[in-house]
Amino acid sequence: MSPLLEVKNLEVAFFTKDGVVRAVNGISYSMEEGDTLGIVGESGCGKSVSCMAMLRLIPEPPGKIMGGEVLFDGIDLVKMKRDDLHSIRGGKIAVIFQDPMASLNPVMTIGEQIAEAITVNLGQSHRQAMERTIELLARVGIPHAHDRVKDYPHQFSGGMRQRVMIAMAISCQPKLLIADEPTTSLDVTIQAQIVDLVQSLQRELGMAVIWITHDLGVIARLAKRVNVMYAGFIIESGPAKDIFRQPHHPYTIGLLGSVPKPDVQGNQTLQFIDGTPPDMLRLSEGCSFYPRCPYRLAQCEKERPALMQVGNEHMAACWNAAAAAQAALDATASGRA
């Protein structure tokens, strides 16, 4: 069986007045139907841009897809005509964004907005679409859906707006849902509700989900596979359990160490990653993490490591991965003792 989504060497750059920002630098991964992939990284690492470029949703210019293929159901989205993309976007691939207020039309009722998506994508009549809208709103947990279809976005709370976005996203039964930091602006108890909702919908509809976030906890809760991104590269990739149990890339190790663990007793010191992420206008030819890396070798400054096998389906882009992983294991062992 061919994979549902296959990204090969995707490269995206932005041509700004200060120079060329190389936002995504040749990333490759694939997903099967019904998979859950988590993409983790800090601001500016290219996690959102890589997914938006896949749907050709980046502004061109200044953005440009420099190369690579995105095969969805065997069709290359990069080469597709813009007009044909409409059948994919919002239909087979749906997106939910971080800020639901910015993605909803403030002067249109919630019901009209969802029904519009259904009439456009599935060609149903307005009345059918409205009925379906009410069903969907009830399914995503909006109380009194019958009355609330007539409300405007500002009459909903942040969590409820995100539910509306989810209802819109699943209205055309997508095969792939891209969730771009959908819970970042929400409170933790509301975040838990949204994560639960997406998980139950995923089981029900059998769709694949890409969850983009900087929150390692959310990833641990829902992802089967994880890509860790840094400076436009995937620097570690593998099954979630392996990455959390035995991270190999020093950046992943640092990221996991920066989160305080509530189960450690007494006075723990938080590890942290020194320095700041690199300037994307001036990426070095060596490993982008080199200046911040506690495990760097002389080789790392000049030669950029590619993803290398470090375990079963587990890959890391690091020349010194074995030593870093061992040091991380020792540190956790001494922390637990």
Partner 1 sequence: MASEPYLLQVNHLQKYYPVKGGLFRKVTGYVKAVDDISFAIRKGETLGLVGESGCGKTTTARVVLQLQRPTGGEVILNGKDLTKVSDENLRCLRTEMQIIFQNPYTSLNPRMTIGSAIAEPMVVHGIAHGNAAHERVGELLNMVGLNKYFAGRFPSEFSGGQRQRIGIARALSVNPSFVICDEPISSLDVSIQAQIVNLLKRLQGELGLTYLFISHDLRMVRYISNRMAVMYLGKIVEMGESLAIWKSTLHPYTQALWAALPLPDPELEEKRQRIVLQGDVPSPINPPKGCRFCTRCPKVMEVCREVEPPLRELEPNHEVACHLYD
Binding site for partner 1 (CB under 8 A): 42-43, 157, 159-160, 187-193, 195-196, 214-221, 223, 240-241, 244-245, 254-262, 265-266, 268-274, 276-277
Closest approach of Cβ 303 to partner 1, in Å? 24
CA distance 44 to 62: 16
Closest approach of Cβ 119 to partner 1, in Å? 30
DSSP 8-state assignment for residue 274: -
Q: Smaller CB distance to partner 1: residue 68 or 277?
A: 277
CA distance 65 to 14: 9
Q: Smaller CB distance to partner 1: residue 193 or 284?
A: 193
For residue 333, what are its two tokens?
């062992």
Q: 287: helix, coil or strand?
A: coil
Q: 126: helix, coil or strand?
A: helix
Closest approach of Cβ 296 to partner 1, in Å? 16
Q: Smaller CB distance to partner 1: residue 126 or 282?
A: 282
- Termini Cα distance of the chain: 46
**Cβ neighbourhood burial of 215 (10 Å; 0-12, 13-18, 19+):** middle
Closest approach of Cβ 337 to partner 1, in Å? 18
Q: 273: helix, coil or strand?
A: coil
Q: Smaller CB distance to partner 1: residue 183 or 320?
A: 183
DSSP 8-state assignment for residue 290: G
- CA-CA-CA-CA torsion for 184, 190, 192, 193, nearest 10 degrees? -120
SS3 content of the chain, % helix, strand, coil (to 5): 35, 25, 40
Closest approach of Cβ 131 to partner 1, in Å? 26
For residue 295, what are its two tokens?
């495990």
Residue 70: which of 51, 95, 57 has the closest Cα? 51
Closest approach of Cβ 212 to partner 1, in Å? 14
Q: Smaller CB distance to partner 1: residue 32 or 215?
A: 215
Q: Smaller CB distance to partner 1: residue 60 or 187?
A: 187
For residue 265, what are its two tokens?
């007793």
Closest approach of Cβ 80 to partner 1, in Å? 34
Q: Smaller CB distance to partner 1: residue 63 or 250?
A: 250
CA distance 249 to 320: 8
